[in-house]
Every structure is written in C-alpha cells, then in structure tokens.
Structure 1
Amino acid sequence: MAVSEGIFGLNHRGKITFMNSAALQMLRYDRPGQVIGQESHRFMHHRNSNGEHLSSEQCSMRKAWSEGVAVYSDSEMFKRGDGEDITVEFSANPLFDDDKLVGAVVNFSDITMRKAQEERIWHQANFDQLTGVPNRSLFIDRLTTVLDQARRNNALLALLFIDLDRFKPINDQHGHDVGDVVLQTVARRIQASLRQSDTVARIGGDEFVAILPSVESSSDARIAVKKITASIKRPMEIDGQSISVGVSIGIALFPDDGECVETLLKQADHAMYKIKSTER
C-alpha cells in the first residue's frame, strides 16, 4: 500500500501499539500518545458500513490479532477523534514472532468521498430525479425480487398501473413547472396511501406503478386503488391556483393474471386502459 495510507499496529489483545502520521491525520489526532494503548474496537471500529453497531466479538479485525487470520474489507466504518465516522477500506494481517501470534498490522484508506460518489451515481441511475421515487429500472428489479418471494411463499401479489387523466392540459395551460409540482404531489400522495412495504415508481411522463406484495386478496388491491384515487383527486393548491387531476388505475394479480414481470405489467396496463376508456 502507498505511504499515504494509514497504518497502525495491534497487540495480541487488540490494543493499538503504533500509528503512522497518515493514520493520525485521517483519524484527526495530533500525536501518537492519544491513541497508543487504546482498545482498537471501542476506540475506532465500532460500526459496519450499514451503520450497525458491532460487538467486540463481531469486530472483523479481531480475527487478525486473536486468530491469526488475514482480513480484508472494502467498506467499514472508523470513528475519528472528532466523533465523525469515515468509510474505510482496510486489510488486517496477523503479526507473528517465531510462529507465535503477537498481534496484527492494519492498513487502511479513507474512501468516504468515493463511496458517497458511488451512492450518488447509483441513486441517479435508479430513482426518478423529479419525484424521488424509483424509476423503471429499479421498479423492474424490485418486481422481479418480490415475484421470486411470492413464488417461494405461494403468496398473492398485486401490481397497480396508475395513469393520470387530463394531465397534458395542465402542462399546456399552466406550464411545465406547475406540471412538475403536480407529478411530485401525486408521487407523495400515492406513497402516503400505501404501506411502507409497497413500492411506488414512475415509469413514464404521467405513469406510475405500485407493487403491493403479500396481499390477502384482490379486495386489498381494490381498497388501495380507492385510497389512491381519492387522494390524487383532491385539488392541489399550486402558486395560488387550484389544480385538479384525474386518475385511472389498472390491477394485475400474481399468479392469476401472469407470473412474470412483462405479463403482469402488460395486464395491469391493459386493465388501466379499459378503465380509462369506460370513464370517457
């Protein structure tokens, strides 16, 4: 590893024996005396990359200094001296003296900025930038996952295809800025009408879908449709104007209406257009 990367040593009890200047700088300490003799897990390695607190027995570095096993992680959390957490990539290699395990040496790099950039890129690729709900790509991924679960558990699943009525005239009469606020409001209202376990996604201009896993019966889907419809049809106050929009919602059920992503989406879309045509 490069010299600019942090390096510190641990004895056979997991206490810090030395720390180089790069490590001190990354962890916001002024001098080695602030860290030497500290128990490494309690002092700096207390959480994993998901933010979950680790017990000393769960500490991955422990395997290096107590069992002689080399450890590598591409995403762990270290606590700095100022109390802030950083995301690090590290390797911990056991240290032997005449075949006797005496501790470990840990090399690490601060990858906080890199991870944040990766998360931003992932979010941009999977979420609709206007409404903040999942986009088509993430919707397909989540529907595929819940379909697999439904097959294993012999469960019923509902897919709702939600299409706004009279949305184009809003854009034409009030402008796209108002239309954008309408779409954002609709997304929030759909989410508020459903369970936390349900997924709402925007897959087109004024088209949304909702995945309702593990419904008890088709009546659960119809109840959800009624709630969404009532919520969306409430007038929206935007820039001092009262804006109203209609909605048509089609339902497709797994396994009755289809057993794959493409078929369910097609059936829900078809059901939505049948409703839209009868309401004209």
Structure 2
Amino acid sequence: MKRSERLVAMTNYLIEHPQQLVSLPFFTNEYESAKSSISEDLTIINQMFQQQGIGYLQTIPGAAGGVKYIPRNSKEKSELFIDQLATKLEDPERLLPGGYLFMSDLLGDPQTVRNIGRLFATHFSDSTIDAVVTVATKGIPLAYAVASYLNVPVVIVRRDPKVTEGSTVSINYVSGSSRKIQTMVLSKRSLKQGANVLIVDDFMKAGGTINGMKSLLEEFEANVAGIGVLAEAEDEDEDRVVDDYVSLLQINNVDIKNRKIEVHRGNLFEQ
C-alpha cells in the first residue's frame, strides 16, 4: 500500500472510531508497515485534524497504549454554525400557535444533527461519560449524534412503559411549563448503577422535563455529568428549575403579533 493510500485509510478508520484507543500494532498489522512509518503517518494526521479544526489525536504511552481520536470543533466553526442555525430559526414561517417554533426539519437533517452532536461532544469530551440520556422523542436524533462522537450508548427515557423493555422504574414529575403531573419510565436493564450520564434534549423552557430525568436517574444512583440542550426559551415569568446546563441557542423573544423571532447564541461559549 502506498503511503498516500495508507494515510487515507488510517484517517478514515480513526474518524469512524472516535474516543477509541487504537494500538500501533493494529495499524502495523493492518497495513503491513513499520512502526516508525505508522508513527510518522499519525503525526501527519494529527496535524491535519488540528489545522482543519476537527479534533486531535491523543497519544497514550506504554505497552497498552496507542492513539485515540478526540473530535473537536474549533471555536470559529462552532460560532459560524450556531449563527447560521439562529438565522434559520428566526424565519417567521416557523411560528406555531402558542409561540412555539417549528424545528422538526432541522432535527431531521442528518448534517445539522451531526454538527450539533459534534458541538456537544466537543464541550463534554473531557468529562467521563458512560451514556447519553434523552427523553422520547425529539431529543433522540441529537442523543445519537452526541453518543456517536463520544463512543457511548444512548439511553431513552419514555413516557409509557414498553413490554419489550422488561422491568422498568417510573416516577411522577411536575412539568415546568404546564405544571401538570406527568410520568416517565426507564428500563432497569438500560443503565448500570452509578453510571456517569450526559442528558441531551432539544428544547428547554422551565426545565421540568430535565429535572424529572434527573430524579429518575437518582433511582439508578447515576451521576449527571452534564446537561446539553439545543435551544432554551427565555421567559421572565417562568422559574427555571435547572441551572447547570449548556445551550447552543437562546430564543429571546417570540412576537406572534408582529411575526418576529429573536434567536441568539446560547451559553455554550460562556462555560
């Protein structure tokens, strides 16, 4: 295999296996090359990743060591993407009755969802995460995108128990916006006791749903290592029950009468 071919193959493998430790012997055997050649190739790939602002290679020394691709978004790329997303959400055609915004098209676009996943994975890459937790249904694509970059499983909290999930743990919680009593359940087999979890959701107003997930996770003695939301609504009349979170976008004003929406960057860069 030519060096140019080997570089392409190694780059593709590392991108397809983020956060996974890969030993040098694996590459030497896979591409039938000397360790010195593989080391030089990895240096080139690492430089390219950093120049492109898409991450870096972490080197783990020792006999059981190797390299690990850590996905990262540069601040410039992150700001540009979030500003573009904010512009899309400010389209008056997105207004729905009750002052809500139509966001399903963005959550259904694979490229947009991947970029959102990379942003959250970048922010939480230094945290120990065992699983990404979300509540059905709109947060599911975001959770899978984040989990793919962190190389961890996705755990889905549901509103109703499913017979296919076996025994479940359920709790009642108070919705932050409607103040209604609601129920959420989680399969006992879906999460190990004491796991470190990252909660991901698409939208947060008062934070009742996320607070409910936190209460449910306490039943598993899980540690909430972080909370990430795509968009948060700013409402002075609502008492927010969640404080420690990261948001990409903040919806500051929805004027239904004049059909005007103001969307700004969230608190991601303030963390």
The bucket for the TM-score relative to the shorter chain is under 0.3
Q: TM-score, normalised by structure 1?
A: 0.26
If you compute each CA radius of gyration, which structure gives the higher value, 1 or 2? Answer: 1
Give the TM-score normalised by structure 2: 0.27
